[in-house]
Structure 1
Amino acid sequence: MPNWLLPENIADVLPSEARKIEELRRLMLDNFRLYGYELVMPPLLEYLESLLTGTGTDIDLRTFKLVDPISGRLLGLRPDMTTQVARIDAHLLNRASVTRLCYAGNVLHTHPSGLHATREPLQIGAEIYGHAGLEADAEIQELALSTLALAGFPQVRLDLTHVGVLRAIIEGDAAAARDEAALYLALRAKDVSDLKALTANYAPQTRDALLALTQLYGDIDVLKKAREVLPDLPGIAKALAELAALAASALGRAEVAIDLADLRGYQYESGAMFALYVPGLPNAVARGGRYDHVGEAFGRARPATGFSLDLRELARLLPTAERKHSIRAPWGNAPELKEKIAELRKSGEVVIQSMPGHSNELDEFECDRALVLDDNSSQWILKNLG
């Protein structure tokens, strides 16, 4: 095998694509800051038990594991940064007030999440800690929508769901509660035949409600239908009311859809959840929701909600960035030349000096001007190359 080949679903990012990704990263982090979010940088690896706290088996299966040669303990390469940021809030910052944190960094997956997905996403996200009310969920949803709009995606579909509906349905049925993980998988796949087999021995009310969830998707009118066909339980009523409020806050900013069986991320989410879709990508470009219990294992349970997305996947949907106009300059050590180049760069111009005997081959820059020495004035001037 040639020594330059990379592992499956791992790839280099070349100049023009890297530029798009970096510009998106800066744009989004600057937008987060305008809302008052503080940047944190968790480590790429940490002790496995800390990394997997409260995340469920799905995250465990996606985590690369290795032995620390110093301590002998198992380490994990982060597959997700959400729990790391929750640890920072609960254990390191330890604030009593509402805390807004954001992050951006590479994560690693043992298996790709889709057919053409990378195993090394560049994850960026934002989280709010310390407020249990729906106001935090609404702010995170607004921040996610505004971030995509800034990135050049004005047409967005917002899909809403709520884990409280499923948990309220199975709460009073011991058999259903034991099968929670299997029910989650069947509902997520909308596998009605599997769901019928699983629920065969449940109480009729529980069985009918679980089967109804597979049909409760569509526009905002789904909430009205859900109130009619689902049991009249306080947990269900509360969840549907929260979804109605979040849907109303997004009207005019996104196309809103409801899917009460779309429970991706269910294993550590605790309330309203959302997914954002943009033209050109069948999978959700961003996901978010409430996860109030993740901080418990770090000694301090805090209400929490947030969202994240993969910058590399998002950048692929954007057109190739235009080449930046730049200035070609000769190589030389003349003080007047070096002073002129420094002056141009200070003003924001890209100046590329040609190495002796070589031309420049560039993906990102187009030299439309040249710095030349004027014979009459003996001054360095810009010449338009057309």
Structure 2
Amino acid sequence: MPISETWLLPDGVADVLPEQAQVIESLRRDALDFLASRGYQLVYTPFIEYIESLSSLSESNQDLDLVTFKVIDQLSGRLLGVRADMTPQVARIDAHVRSVEGIARYCYAGTVLHTKPQGFSASRTPLQLGAELFGHDSIDADVEMVDVMLGLIEQAGLLDGVHLDLGHVGLFRSLVKYAGLSKSDERQLSDLYQRKALPELKDFTENLKAGSDFYALGRYSSDLEALQANLSQAILDDTDFRDALDELITTRSEIQARWSDLHIGIDVVELRSYHYHTGLLYAVYSPNRAAPLAQGGRYDGIGEHFGRARPATGFSCDLYALTAGQFKQIETIVAPKGTDAGLLQAIRDARQNGARVTQLLGNDDLSSVPYATHTLVNVAGKWQIEKI
């Protein structure tokens, strides 16, 4: 590579310049303060660790395994993974490092690394922020998590016009179990649901046990009332299916009571990360944007890999995506060089009031600070701030 091109960054990796970094950092601080006010305790996790620790999800989620960078540790010779998601690390903390009894609430914020972008124009180095709740398996925990997620979106000033999508993998799983499907048929059905391929779904389900129920699940995936009207009584009487449906209905009702102006959509065949989610799924979308602003779900038993299986639910978001296109002018006051007591006091006062003050060096003049917006000037013996 020519020396003139060595400054180029890999695809999906970018610098964050001051005008956007200020927006991102402000949101990160506000978000963590908000999560702390809801009882979520901040944890820091290592950027890299043994792949066995990071595999608590990748064993059941091949997508996560594929986006995890792997390197050989030159000290131990063992395989290391660079974190692609912080959820397995927080699960390790809950299960093995800080195994408190009862409910544990954690939050985190940090850069993760992906081998490939996880969406159109997505970063390979997202700044992931999220929250996890361990130790409670009732729908109340899921409702709290959705409520916290929406509160965070509101904190970011993005709540207007958004809609919440709810799903539940238990509906599909219980129907698969009821029909005794093979793994091959299960995978094909999951693919058809994800592609919303109704004609193919109709053809494929004609010869399956409970085929009409599988078709109804896709045909009426966004309308719970119509879905129940078109399902067989046998599957409606199935305990696992009924429990999942009741949880979805209850969650929608509880969230609507808290966020009365929010549009809530249903998608019972939303099966992202189907192999490790165990219950409710939730995601927040904004208009004219394909990727969710934030998403999460229930993944009970995640700590089993570390010797302590616990019910768990949580969500995460990418702060870069939340603040995409947002910039803030950096107001900078330029002070002249000097040690005059009044000047130094004026600089201290401005900084204590939250202003950004740069004092000139050497023989520099105002042109040496191209981003300056204000200057400190002496008017009749008093230092005051004037706009440039």
Give the structure-1-normalised TM-score.
0.90
Deviations 1:72-92 (A, max 9, x none): 111111111111111111111
- Bigger mean CA offset, 32-41 vs 230-239: 230-239
Match of 1:316 among 324, 337, 342: 324
- Distance, in Å, in 1 between the alignment partners of 2:269 and 2:197 is 10
1:5 to 8, 31, 48: 8
Question: Which residue number corresponds to residue 83 of structure 1?
Answer: 88
State the distance in 1 between where 2:89 and 2:187 align: 24
RMSD value over aligned CA atoms?
A: 2.0
Structure 1 pair 87–180 and aligned structure 2 pair: CA distance change class (3 A): farther
Query: Could you tell me whether the CA contact under 8 Å between 1:121 and 1:312 is conserved in 2?
Result: yes
For residues 314-338 of structure 1, give each alpha carbon's deviation from its aligned partner in whole angstroms, at most 9, with x where no partner exists.
Answer: 1015x432x2544221122444433
**Is 1:301 matched up with 2:309?**
yes
Q: CA deviation at 1:107?
A: 0.8
Offset, 1:366: 2.7
Q: Which runs of 5+ in 2 are unaligned?
A: none
Preserved contact between residue 171 and residue 177 of structure 1 (Cα < 8 Å): no
Please tell me the residue identity of whatever aligns with 2:286: V
Question: Structure 2: which amino acid aligns with 1:214?
Answer: G
Q: CA deviation at 1:178?
A: 5.2
In structure 2, the residue matched to 1:100 is 105
Contact 2:116–2:124 under 8 Å retained in 1: yes
- 1:382 CA displacement: 0.3
2:42 to 23, 39, 42: 39
Within-5 A mapping of 1:1-386: 1=1, 2-55=5-58, 56-155=61-160, 156-177=162-183, 179-192=185-198, 195=201, 199=205, 202-203=208-209, 205=210, 207-218=211-222, 222-230=223-231, 231-232=235-236, 233-251=238-256, 252-316=260-324, 319-321=326-328, 323-355=329-361, 356-358=363-365, 359=367, 360-362=369-371, 366-367=373-374, 370-374=375-379, 376-377=380-381, 379=382, 381-385=383-387
Give the secondary-structure state (helix, strand or coil) at the position aligned to 1:316.
coil
> What is the letter of the counterpart of residue 184 of structure 1?
S
**Alpha carbons of 1:113 and 1:161: their partners in 2 closer, same or farther (altered >3 Å)?**
same
Q: What do the CA deviations read for 1:257-285 (whole angstroms, capped 9, x no partner)? A: 00111111222111011110012422211
Contact 1:101/1:127, CA 8 A, preserved across alignment: yes
Which amino acid in 2 is paired with 1:210? F
| Structure 1 residue 197, shift from structure 2 partner | 6.8
The 8 Å contact of residues 135 and 312 in structure 2, kept in 1 or not, is answered as yes
- Structure 2: distance between partners of 1:168 and 1:384: 69
CA distance in 1, matches of 2:385, 2:26: 30
> Sequence identity, in percent?
40
- Contact 2:19/2:330 (<8 A) preserved: no
Secondary structure in 2 aligned to 1:137?
A: helix
CA distance in 1, matches of 2:203, 2:219: 17
Paired residue secondary structure (2:165) = strand
CA contact (8 A) 1:268 1:293 kept: no
Can you list the C-alpha shifts for 1:161-199, whole angstroms capped at 9, x where unaligned? 001001100113333345434432332222346546765
In structure 2, how many angstroms separate the alpha carbons of the residues matched to 1:260 and 1:26? 35
> How many residues are aligned here?
372
Deviations 1:194-229 (A, max 9, x none): 5467656532x1x222222222233xxx11122222
Higher mean alpha-carbon deviation, 234-243 vs 208-217, is at 208-217
User: Once the 2 structures are TM-superposed, how far is the Cα of residue 245 of structure 1 from its aligned partner?
Assistant: 1.3
SS of residue matched to 1:287? strand
Contact 2:377 2:386 in 1 (8 A): no
Give the residue type in structure 2 aligned to 1:186: L
Instruction: Summarize deviations over 1:51-106 as a string: whole Å, max 9, x none.
Output: 02133111011111111111111111111111111111111110112111000011
Q: Which runs of 5+ in 1 are unaligned?
A: none
Q: Deviations along 1:293-326, whole A, 9 cap, x unmatched?
A: 2111110011111110111011015x432x2544
Mapped to 1, the partners of 2:206 and 2:48 lie a distance apart of: 44
The answer as to whether partners of 1:48 and 1:74 remain within 8 angstroms in 2 is: yes
50-59 or 341-350, which deviates more = 341-350
Q: More deviation in 342-351 or 290-299?
A: 342-351
Distance, in Å, in 1 between the alignment partners of 2:188 and 2:76 is 37
CA distance in structure 2 between the partners assigned to 1:182 and 1:332 by the alignment = 74
Distance 2:385 2:307 in 1: 65
Q: Secondary structure at the match of 2:76?
A: coil
Secondary structure (helix, strand or coil) at the match of 1:256 reads strand
CA contact (8 A) 1:170 1:177 kept: no
